[in-house]
Amino acid sequence: MALVAPSMLSADFLHLSQDVAMVNAHADIFHLDVMDGTFVPNISFGFPVIDAIASEAAKPLDVHLMIVEPWKYIERVGKTGASMVSFHLEATRDAGRTSETLALARSCGMKAGLVINPDVPVEDLFPFLEEVDFILIMSVFAGFGGQKFIPSSLERIATLRAEIVRRGLPVQIEVDGGVSPSNAAALRSAGADILVAGSSVFKAPDPVSAIAAIRG
């Protein structure tokens, strides 16, 4: 069993409250992708949309920041009422601000998550495992929904899981990108706790059974 976090990037923005109601009734977490057009070559949505979803959400909000200088926006994310926030290691490490940004997220009452793209060695996360509540492993390059799952992500998840177990840490593993009913079982057995799914939920003929299949 994994928790299922539908990515609202693939929702129907003209009928957002219907999709919010579906997640409230059938899924576990709202995954909200914030893109700035600089850290990634795409722009998604920002606080007006997150606040609107928050006003109807009965499940926890998980905000995935794909932005430069994420430390500038953590407190504002906290004001949305989000339970989880994550940002990319690639966006903080050159400035040496990874630890302080994780601590800031926790001080705002949120679970703090660190994200890496598929080209960042999973071992680069190890120095921070004591400072995070969860790790988000990208199984596609961040920036767009609807991309194809990268199979080597499975091995990366297993490596990370082994290190978390070896150190006896309570860190959860979330996976994002190309997740579907066809790879969910492999992801769960590799050690994923939370599965983000955008197109495989919202573009499915039956989103409710897609969620059930991904959950396992």
Q: Which residues are catalytic?
A: 33, 176
Which of Zn ion, ligand DX5, none lies near 172, with the C-beta cut-off 5 to 8 A by kind?
Answer: none
9 binds, among Zn ion, ligand DX5, none (CB under 5 to 8 A by kind): ligand DX5
Residue type, 183: N
CA distance 134 to 27: 19
Which is closer to ligand DX5, CB of 74 or CB of 201? 201
Q: Choose the stretch contacting ligand DX5; rule: CB under 6 A; options: 46-54, 67-75, 120-128, 192-200.
A: 192-200
64 part of the interface to Zn ion, by CB under 5 A:
yes
Q: How far is the CB of 167 from ligand DX5 (least distance, A)?
A: 27
Kindly list the distances between the CA atom of residue 137 and the CA atoms of 23, 56, 88, 125, 128, in Å, as whole numbers in the listed order. 22, 28, 10, 10, 14
Are the beta carbons of 81 and 61 closer than 8 angstroms? Answer: yes
Could you tell which of Zn ion, ligand DX5, none binds residue 10, using a CB distance below 5 to 8 A set by kind?
ligand DX5
Sheet with 3-6, side-by-side order of all strands:
3-6, 194-197, 172-176, 134-138, 111-116, 84-88, 61-66, 30-35
CB of 86 to ligand DX5, least distance (A): 10
Which of 70, 145, 181, 191: binder of ligand DX5 (CB under 6 A)?
145
146 Ramachandran zone, left/alpha/beta (phi>0; psi -120 to 50): left
Does residue number 215 form part of the binding site for ligand DX5 (CB under 6 A)? no
CA distances from 161 to 31, 102, 169 (A): 22, 20, 10
Lay out the site mask for ligand DX5 across 159-178 (x = CB under 6 A, - = otherwise).
Answer: -----------------xxx
Least gap, CB of 121 to ligand DX5 (angstroms): 20
The count of residues interacting with ligand DX5 (CB under 6 A) is: 22
| CB contact set of 105 (below 8 Å; sequence gap of 6+) | 74, 77, 78, 85, 111, 112, 113
Residues near ligand DX5, by CB under 6 A: 7, 9-10, 31, 33, 64, 140, 142-147, 176-179, 196-200
